[in-house]
Structures are given as structure tokens and as C-alpha cells.
Amino acid sequence: PDRTAPDRTAPDRRSTLIHHISTLVTNDPSLGTGPLGLIPDAALVLEGERVVWAGESSKAPATDNAFDAAGRAVVPGFVDSHSHLVFAGDRTAEFNARMSGRSYTAGGIRSTVAATRAADDGALSANLAAHLTEMLRQGTTTVETKSGYGLTVEEEARALRIAAAHTEDVTYLGAHIVGPEYADDPAGYVDLVTGAMLDACAPHARWVDVFCEEGAFDGDQARAILTAGKARGLLPRVHANQLSHGPGVRLAVELEAASADHCTHLADADVDALASGTTVATLLPGCEFSTRAVYPDARRLLDAGVSVALSTDCNPGSSFTSSMPFCIAVAVREMGMTPDEALWSATAGGAAALLREDVGRLAPGARADLALLDAPSHVHLAYRPGVPLVTDVWRRGEHHSI
């Protein structure tokens, strides 16, 4: 058998009961206890691509099929709202150098740009598909992914076309760093990103993003790029305050971006801005782990009332992990989150960061996207770090046995 892809069966138009669930996380407070809407001894009914019923096992309606969860926990499929998966090449040497004391800079992106440009469409698509499979096997059912390793009109549009064949949440990140051809003319590159490149990319993307950081784009440039994207119907999100204090977070809130991502270096004014606006703070612990940097302070954000999402930032440079369970474990151990908060952030939080209401929860009407854990509850995701607990995944009602 093919060990690289999970076994799967086609979505069932008939109703399927998943019963004997020890703990069901619905993320719907009206269905169970607490913010996670927890239901003990639960069952779930799926029909086609949707959840049609969730509740106590003893009250479950009659269905065509049944699946015995055998006392395991069910969580909504993880929503990974930030990744960079259209790339080629490998940066093992850069990682090795970092682990011997070198620090992370945006400069490493250039080596992935060169490798990505040299790869054909088939290779880029196959690499993306392999990472999406890797993610699915770890319980992730929704993935956002970005361009940003092309940095010419043709290469950025190509990356987005390839991404759009695999996921609905595609992000135009022509403003990852200044393209090498414009090294001496950053203003000219911003004109390109807001002009011809945007024209070529907007039809393939839902989102526009910018890396607002020293060595990438400053606040004025980021504002121009996000505003131009918005005028073309793209929704803004921002790489903000990753490596230093900067204007990214406040700009994201001002432009009503769905999410400010990283949020590692925050002043009180940044936290206040997030607390007063609608922008989600997306934290990416794989990045600090893999760059030996200080973790963002999730506790400070949560205590201020900010909505927090967790995501992998999967990319070959700063965070080459595809594992949401890993991010949950690190967020709990290192960032002051409770296991319940981390689970919410990795599911409903990611959905909020993508302005999605159909995923990140398991209530009637939601997508039948869920993960079954070989554990009595979701708390084991943090309690048993590094252990592959996901045994089965349903995505759009399609069952994948892992």
C-alpha cells in the first residue's frame, strides 16, 4: 500500500453517526460547557459535507451508517491560517548555522526565491500537495497559503495559480521582501507590487499580505500595498512585529485586517489597539522555536481581551513544521495558554483569522471537518507533546484513516 497518503473513502451522501466520543469539542458554547462547548459522552452526525447534529450520545438520531469512536476525543479539524507552501529547495544549512548561534534575518528568503524560480509548476504543485497531506495527517483540514518566493509579476501569479488549485485561502505576498531585481530601487518594487503585479495576482487570491519589518517593508510601504490590494477586492492581513517593534500591528488594526501575524514584539499601545479592534492576533510558535527567539506573550493578549489564533507559519526558513499539535503544545508550555485556549486558537481562532464561519467548529451547518484523537480529551495534545494522536480525519465529510 501507498504509505505516503492516508486511506480514504468518498464523502457519504447518507448520514453517518460517530458515537462513543469521550469528549467532543464543538466550539459552540450553546451546545456544551465553556467556550469550547464541550460535550462528554457525545455523538456527531455527518451528512455529505456537513455536520447535521451534535449532542449527547444517548439522544443521537437514527442514521444510515455508524462509526465507533471507542472512547476517543473529537476536535474540529485544525485551521492553519498562515503558511508559505509554494516553494522549492531546502534551508537546512541556514537552520544548522542558526543552531550554532547565527540569528534569523529576512535575507534567507532570497535563497528560496532562487530555488522556487528554478522549479517547474509540477514540482511546486507536488511539494505543496505533499505538505498538505502531511498537515491532514496531523488533523489540519483548512490551510491558508501564500506566494512570496517569486517576486516577479509572472512568478507571483504562477505561485498563486498553483496555490488556488489546492486551497480556497490564497494570499498574495508579492511584498515578502524587495525582489532581487529591485535591490537598488525599493520604491520601484512597491510600484510593481501595487501595479502590474497586483493586476496579475488579484484574480487568483483572496488575501493581500505584507512583511512589515526592518529589511522588508516599512509602515508607509505596507500601508500603500495593503490599501492597493483592498481597492482590488483583496482582504488584508499583515506579517507584523515579528523581529522588532514596528508599525505593523497598529497598521493592521487601522486597516481592519483580519489578522496581524507573529505579534512577537508588542508595546502596550499595540496590545491596546488589538483589544479595541477586530483584528485577530495570530501567534506562530514554530517560528520562535526554529529561530531560537523569545515567544510571543499569549497570556498578555488574552488577558487584554484579544482574539488569538495559532498557526504553523510552515515555510522552509523560519518554521519548517506542519504540525498544529506541536504548536498547541508549545503555546501551552511556553506562551501561557491553557490547553482549552490553545485548542480554541488552533481551530475557531484560525477560522476567525480567515473570516470563515463554516470551519473551526462542530455544530449543525458547519463543515464536516474533524479529527479523532487517540486520547480521552483534547488536553492530551499538550499533555503528550510529540505523540501522533490523530487516528482519523474527516474533511468535507470524507473519511481519512491515518
List the binding residues for 4-imidazolone-5-propanoate.
Answer: 91, 149, 176, 242, 318
Which of Fe ion, ligand NIG, none lies near 109, with the C-beta cut-off 5 to 8 A by kind?
ligand NIG
Which of ligand NIG, Fe ion, none lies near 369, with the C-beta cut-off 5 to 8 A by kind?
none
In terms of CB distance, is 88 or 224 closer to ligand NIG? 88
Give the Cβ contact number of residue 268 at 10 Å: 9
Q: Edge-to-edge, what's the strand order for the sheet holding 370-373?
A: 7-9, 398-401, 390-395, 370-373, 65-76, 15-25, 38-47, 50-56
In terms of CB distance, is 28 or 288 closer to ligand NIG? 288
Which of Fe ion, ligand NIG, none lies near 112, with the C-beta cut-off 5 to 8 A by kind?
ligand NIG
> Considering all CA atoms of the chain, what is the largest pairwise distance in Å, rounded to the nearest integer?
69
What secondary structure letter does DSSP report for 55? E
295 binds ligand NIG (CB under 6 A): no
φ/ψ of 234, rounded to 5, equals: -85, 150
**C-alpha span between 322 and 143 (Å, rounded):** 10
**C-alpha span between 65 and 396 (Å, rounded):** 17
**C-alpha span between 59 and 243 (Å, rounded):** 51
Q: Which stretch binds ligand NIG (CB under 6 A): 51-59, 155-163, 314-322, 338-346?
A: 314-322
**C-alpha span between 400 and 355 (Å, rounded):** 26
Quote the cell numbers at residue 242.
Answer: 515579528
Among 16, 81, 83, 112, binds ligand NIG (CB under 6 A): 112
x/- track of binding to Fe ion for residues 268-307 (CB under 5 A): ----------------------------------------
Span 77-106, contacts to ligand NIG by CB under 6 A: 84
317 binds ligand NIG (CB under 6 A): yes
CB-based contact 201:176 (threshold 8 Å): no
The β-bridge partners of 18 are 44, 67
Measured in whole angstroms, the distance separating CA 106 from the mean position of its chain's CA atoms is: 20
Which of ligand NIG, Fe ion, none lies near 234, with the C-beta cut-off 5 to 8 A by kind?
none
Among 209, 313, 341, 392, binds Fe ion (CB under 5 A): 313
**C-alpha span between 56 and 79 (Å, rounded):** 25
349 binds ligand NIG (CB under 6 A): no
Among 32, 76, 77, 108, binds ligand NIG (CB under 6 A): 108
Annotated binding-site members? 82, 84, 91, 149, 176, 239, 242, 313, 315, 317-318
In terms of CB distance, is 66 or 115 closer to Fe ion? 115
The β-bridge partners of 373 are 73, 390
**Footprint of ligand NIG (CB under 6 A):** 84, 108-109, 112, 211, 239, 242, 287, 313, 315-319
**Footprint of Fe ion (CB under 5 A):** 313
